[in-house]
Amino acid sequence: MPMLGDRGFSFDGSRTFRRSLSNGTIAQLVNFQLGQRSQEGRFTVNLGVFVLGELLSNPPAVTASNALEHHCSGPRRTRLGTMHPGLIPALANVPLVGALLGPKDVWWPFVEDQGRTDTSLRECLLLLERHGFAWLAQATPRGASDD
User: Is 53 among the domain residues?
Assistant: yes
CA 120 vs CA 26, 88, 117: distances in Å: 30, 21, 5
Instruction: Name the DSSP letter for residue 146.
Output: B
pLDDT tens-digit readout, 48-97 = 999 999 988 888 899 999 999 999 999 999 999 988 765 555 665 666 66
How many Cβ atoms are within 10 Å of 81's Cβ, its own excluded? 19
Considering the domain boundaries, does residue 97 fall inside one?
A: yes
Domains of the chain: total: 1
Q: Report yes or no on 46 lying in a domain.
A: yes
Evaluate whether residue 144 is within a structural domain. Answer: no
3-state secondary structure of 140: coil
CA distance 69 to 49: 7
Residue 24 structural domain: 2-139
Contact 17, 40 (CB under 8 A): no
pTM of the model as a whole = 0.85
